[in-house]
Amino acid sequence: MNLKELGWNDFFQANANTYLNEGFEVGRISKEHRGLYHVITENDEIIAEVTGKFIFQAVERTEYPAVGDWVIIHSRITEQKATIHNILPRLSKFSRKIAGNTTEEQVVAANINTVFIVNSLNKDLNLRRIERYLVMTWESGANPVIILSKADLCGNIDEKLAEVERIALGVPIHVVSTVEDQGLSELSSYLQEGQTIALLGSSGVGKSTLTNKLVGKDILEVQSVRTDDDKGRHTTTHRELVIVPSGGMLIDTPGMRELQLWEADQHLEQSFEDIAQIAATCRFRDCSHQNEPACAVQAAIDHGELAEERFSSYLKLQKEIRFLERKADKRAELKEKEKWKKLSGDRTRVHKKR
């Protein structure tokens, strides 16, 4: 394929020139499984693994390739394999804190232009989860687009759409049904040459089915919804970049039960612009919006102008960000120690060889 069709641009070219002059090649990560990477190049798709030096120098999980990354490789044509020597700087990345108690970043998808936040219009519609996805998408550097799927299973679409519009100010929203081919043609405007879209959402909201429809053939496995609770079954087990024949690329992702923030302070206010505008009219500039007199936020809640659930969601996300900031300082300190520990070990080995 032409590299531009895969999303190659002047930014990546400038960062790759030194490597290219030394005889290396470039490719884009399409899939990762147990330490092996599928890399799409101009000529083929090959299996690759990182070098021993790469492993030694990497301190954190985010320093390893993620789906969507552009990587510097040395290919072995006869074996249809390659080694990955480096990752080019990322233009964007959608990250979350890894599941569990460990404070560590997981890059879900890299170098994406648009995030399709997919939420089904059946009983699984979750406004609070959409709010969280919006904050994380703005932080990623990509543009959010909300996809309300399974419209054929919803009897009150206008009501549900109005609920979502109230929390997604200025964000494009598309109502679709893959069963009835409703709304799919409107999504083609996002699928332009070199554009990458990540599909994110809970398990069973129809991400893989939507991917198959947009690609034009069944390339990803799908399953039907459960009849007992109207929720979809988990299908996708790994992230995968898929090329759309008409143009653009899609990254299908597994459903995430845990969706904890990662560095989202700058864009919290952007996602909750309505609350920020109301808060600006409080009597006190440092109003906590709890018990202060003349609090515009509490007045808006009392008058039904602001949903209490939305304000609670805002406070919860704000608290989560403060917690991450406290952890970040400790994490940076530990990372620096690990870096110097590796460098010291390397120097010791060199000295012994001499």
* 149 assigned binding-site residue: yes
* 289 assigned binding-site residue: yes
Q: Which residue has the tokens 């089915």?
A: 209
Q: Which residue has the tokens 């960000």?
A: 321
* 286 assigned binding-site residue: no
Transcribe 198-225 into DSSP letters: EEE-STTSSHHHHHHHHHTS--S---PB
Q: Which two tokens stand for residue 263?
A: 């560095």
Specify burial of residue 59 (Cβ count, 10 A radius: 0-12, 13-18, 19+). Answer: middle
* 201 assigned binding-site residue: yes
* 351 assigned binding-site residue: no
In eight-state DSSP terms, residue 139 is: H
* 227 assigned binding-site residue: no
Q: How far apart are CA 288 and CA 235, in angstroms?
A: 43
* 150 assigned binding-site residue: yes
* 205 assigned binding-site residue: yes
Query: Among candidates 8, 5, 28, 32, which has minimal Cα distance to 253?
Result: 32
In eight-state DSSP terms, residue 248 is: -
* 108 assigned binding-site residue: no
Q: Which two tokens stand for residue 190?
A: 């996002």
Q: How far apart are CA 331 and CA 53, in angstroms?
A: 23
Query: Among candidates 215, 206, 216, which has minimal Cα distance to 253?
Result: 206
Q: How far apart are CA 256 and CA 254, in angstroms?
A: 6
Q: Which two tokens stand for residue 9?
A: 């641009």
* 154 assigned binding-site residue: no
Report the 10 Å Cβ neighbour count for 45: 15
Q: What share of the chain is helix, strand, coil (3-state, %, to 5)?
A: 40, 25, 40
Could you list the residues known to form a binding site, using ranges: 149-152, 201-209, 282, 287, 289, 295
Could you list the residues known to form a binding site for Zn(2+), using ranges: 282, 287, 289, 295
Could you list the residues known to form a binding site for GTP, using ranges: 149-152, 201-209
